[in-house]
Each structure stands twice: as structure tokens, then as C-alpha cells.
Amino acid sequence: MLIRFVYDFSSMAKRRDFLFGSAAATAAAAAVLHPSKTKAQTNREEMIALQEGFVGQYQGGVYLLPATDETVQWGWFNNAEPPRARIQSGDTVIMETMMASQNQVLPGVSIEEITRLRVDHPGRGPHTITGPIFVEGAEPGDVLKVKINRIVPRTYGCNWNLPGELGLGQFPQLFPEPQAKHFFLDMARGKTEFLPGIELPVRPFPGILGVARAESGQYSTVPPGPFGGNMDCREMVAGTTVYIPVFVEGALLWSGDSHAVQGNGEINLTAVESAFNELNLTVEVIKNKPLTWPRIESDTHWMTVGYDRDMNTAIRIMEEETVKFLAEWKGMNSSDARRYMNTYGDFRVAEVVNQLKGVYCMLPKTDGPAMAPLPMMDTRTDFVTHAVNADAMEAMNQAALALIERIQDEKGLAALDAYSLASLALDARIGRLDSGAYHVHCLMPKSTWVA
């Protein structure tokens, strides 16, 4: 049963009353809809807050969680946030999300205003997150299985870099001027125009999808972690399933930082930052499933991840997660798993600008040929640059900068446009992990240029 709501947006007070009502009214409605349920007693402050009222407890297993001033937070996670919806394992939530900085980064906003929003709010992330959602029965030691059924973005977005006093992005000294680029998303064609003659495929995914971490208190939405959060993994499109370890009762699920287009690395700081009119998720609790980091499943691949301030360490985490996964999936010992990983694994960079660097390994679900060697020079379909270094981040920097310089020179792009385009279209891959040094290959599809 699909629940449809109609809001009177002319009155914030009316909307607040409709969403939350009084505690008594909420309790009465819950009693009518679920007469057999009684509220469990608890001493935890966040659980007490939950019992004061929440949005979305209806029969039928499908819930709408709108993005309003009452259901979103800007830049901070906090376990003490009262849940904005309460669902059962197996239910579906249709979420809305907002643009960055609580819907203040809208079409036409200036780079000066975007900069001010960060400078005036130190420590706070730019992301607007919807939630949290309390999942009945989820407990520490469980896993939340989140199937991404459908994503409908708004028809616009923005990409920006913030060097200068903020020093954000991967190369703030080399690209010292800030810039904001606004985009129209042509959803009928699945494309957005970067510049005349340059188009990018629209491939929306949630940059943030995560649960509450074990530690109480307020924490920034910027760094990801074992709880998920700001993973910025562009493989998390509709049709994929994300498995996230649970650290607190009810899991407390959030999403935001809604991306329409992103390259591997997100090197200038941002993707095409948008918002979702619909993020359709089916959420299931898997009991007693030890998991240390999120995993991702698509129709064709399993994916393991690693995040750390040091990219070498992030890669080692990814390796260990892959070895553990192969032991579960195929019953392999450590040495066999490492050989398998280096034969069939496709290693990619998720992001390098969220304080923690992120990488992931894609393993095909079906047996096939070994992973082909990554290209060292241009192919028929891609511009290619390559660098090797004992420091994976240094290799990434060298290869990414070489590609930026190439598209500047060969395609006549301005420096900031080349930097922005790399943030949105770069395909950054890591070579085999048994060579003693890290090989990073940066690819840019030639099909990006349509004229």
C-alpha cells in the first residue's frame, strides 16, 4: 500500500503540526494502527526522544519521509536526534532529500555565497541529511541491508571548489580560484551539458548512506567510516544493495549528499550536487552478522571498501575486507583469496577529499576471464594517464594532474573547467596489489566530447 501525503506548504506551523502533532496524538494514532504493540521501556535519551513522537508509522510497509525543515539536519550526525520514521525490517521508505546547506545551494547561487556558508559554519559539513530512520529489531552486531530501488533526482545541480582560506579540494594551491558551475539535468536523455560539446551521463546515487556510529554526540557528516556515511562511491546507483554494520539500537539510517554525476576521486571537492525527489529504499535487518565495513552488491559484482586518512592504509583495509569476504563467499584461505583478488579484482578510487580517502574492490559474481591489465596509454575509447609510487595518494595525484593538463591542452579547456570536469568524469583505477608499488591509472572517456 502506497501512502501519499499532500502538504500545505503555505504554513510552516501547519506542516510542523501535521508531521509531528502532539505526543498524545502520535501515541493515539499508533495505538489505532498497531493496537497490539506496546512501547518498550528504556533509559536511553535517544530512545526516550523516539517515544515522544515520530513520522511515518502506517500499515502497509511503505513509508514516505519528506525532506522538510523538521526531517533534515545540516552538516551533523547525532545519535540523539529523534527518529523521523520508524519502520519494520522489510519495509520500504520513499525518502526525499534537500540540496546542500539545508537547500541554500540552489540554481544561480554564487560561489561567494557557497563559500560564506562554509566559512560561517566551521566544522559543519555542507550536506543536508534526511532522517534518522529507526529500524525495529536492529541491534549492535546486526547488519542493515539497504536495497536502492529507485532514484529520481531534481532536474538541477551544482559543482564547486573551495580553495583559498578553506583549502578544500585535492589541489587548492594549483587551482586557487573558486568556481561554481550550475547544471540542468536532462532526465529524458539521461545527460547534462558541462560545456557546449561536452556532455556527461546522469548517474544518480546517494553520496551519504549511513547509520549512527556507536559513539554518542554530534559529529560532522564529512568523514565516512565503518557506519557508512559520506562514502561517495559512485557504484551505489539504483539496483544496488548496501550492507552496513549496525552500532546502536534501531540502526538510525540517514541519507543525503545526493549526487547526479561524480567521477572517481571527486577531486575538486564536489560532484554535481543535487537533491532527490525520490530515494526509494527497502530496508532489512540481518541478525547476528559480523561486518566491520560496508559492502555493496550489484547485479554483476560484489564490492568491498576501505577508508582512511592514508590511502595506503585504505587500500590495506580494502584488501583485508576482500580476503574476509572471499573466505565467506568461496571458502578460500588467505593466500588463495589474495591470488583471486589480484586476478579478478577491479580496484578503484571512491573519493580523496572527505578527510578519509576511499577505495573499493569490485569482484564479478560469475566466473570469467582474468582482469585485463589496465591501460598505460590512450585507448580507442579513453584518454589515459598513469603514475607509479610507493605512496598511492602521490601516484593518484600525479596521474590525475597529468590528465587535467592533457584535457586542458588538447581540448582547450580553462584550468578550472578541466579541474571540474575531472571531478565529474574521471575513472581512477589502481593496478594489481602485488607489485610492491601502487600504479594508478586515470581514464577519461572520449565520448564525453560529443561535438
The CATH number of residue 115's host domain is 2.60.120.580
**What average pLDDT score do residues 238-247 get?**
99
pLDDT digit string, tens, across residues 345-404: 999 999 999 999 999 999 999 989 999 999 999 999 999 999 999 999 999 999 999 999
Q: Over range 266-291, report the average pLDDT.
A: 97
| pLDDT score recorded for residue 436 | 86
pLDDT digits (tens, 9 = 90+) for 305-316: 999 999 999 999
pLDDT(34) > 50:
no
Q: Which of 23, 251, 272 is nearest to 137 (CA)?
A: 251
Q: Is 385 in the same domain as 322?
A: yes
Q: Looking at per-residue confidence, does 132 or 46 come out higher?
A: 132
- 420 neighbors 181 (Cβ within 8 angstroms): yes
Look at residue 33 in the predicted model and tell me its pLDDT: 28
Do 373 and 433 sit in the same domain of this protein?
A: yes
Query: Same domain, yes or no, for 315 and 254?
Result: no
Residues of the chain with pLDDT > 90, as a percent, come to: 84
Look up the CATH number of the domain holding residue 390. 3.10.28.20
Q: How many CB atoms lie within 10 A of CB 97?
A: 31
Which tens digits make up the pLDDT trace of 115-166? 999 999 999 999 999 999 999 999 999 999 999 999 999 999 999 999 999 9
- Average pLDDT score over the chain: 89
Task: Give the burial class of 148: count Cβ atoms within 10 A of its Cβ; 0-12 exposed, 13-18 middle, 19 or more buried.
Answer: buried
Residue type, 234: R
54 plus 160 within the same structural domain: yes
Together in a domain, 282 and 300: no
Q: Are residues 269 and 333 in the same domain?
A: no
**Residue 263: inside a domain, yes or no?**
yes
At residue 14, does pLDDT exceed 90? Answer: no
Is residue 78's pLDDT more than 60?
A: yes
Domain membership of residue 99 (yes or no) is yes
Task: Give a yes or no: residue 5 inside a domain.
Answer: no
Asked if pLDDT for residue 8 goes beyond 60, the answer is no
Q: How confident is the model at residue 210 (pLDDT cuts 50, 70, 90)?
A: very high
Task: Find, among 250, 243, 225, the residue nearest to 140 by Cα.
Answer: 250
Percentage with pLDDT > 70 across the chain:
87
Closest CA to 114 of 182, 207, 180: 180
Q: Cα separation of 440 and 389, whole Å?
A: 9
Cβ neighbours of residue 62 under 8 Å, at least 6 residues apart?
1, 2, 3, 91, 92, 93, 94
pLDDT greater than 50 at residue 29: no
Q: How confident is the model at residue 49 (pLDDT cuts 50, 70, 90)?
A: very low
> 415 versus 56: which is more confidently predicted?
415
Domain co-membership, 232 together with 196: yes
Would you place residue 59 in the very low, low, confident or very high pLDDT band (cuts 50, 70, 90)? very low
Q: Are residues 47 and 167 in the same domain?
A: yes
Same domain, 347 and 326: yes
Instruction: Give tens-digit pLDDT for 182-203.
Output: 999 999 999 999 999 999 999 9
- From 267, 286, 305, the end of a domain falls on 286
Per the domain annotation, does 7 fall within a domain? no
Do 214 and 66 sit in the same domain of this protein?
A: yes
Report the pLDDT averaged over residues 237-245.
99
Residue 259 has pLDDT above 80, yes or no: yes
Same domain, yes or no, for 151 and 254? yes
Average pLDDT over residues 49-78: 74
Last residue of some domain: 240, 263, 286? 286
- Indicate the number of domains in the chain: 2
> Looking at residues 164-186, what average pLDDT do you find?
97
- Which of 233, 263, 286 is where one domain is finished? 286
Q: Which domain holds residue 184?
A: 12-286
**What pLDDT shows up at residue 45?**
43
- Identify whether 102 is part of a domain: yes
Domain check: are 272 and 300 in the same one?
Answer: no
Whole-number pLDDT of residue 60: 53
Q: Is residue 3 part of a domain?
A: no
Paired residues of 86 in beta bridges: 134
Domain membership of residue 235 (yes or no) is: yes
4: in domain: no
CB 294 within 8 A of CB 305: yes
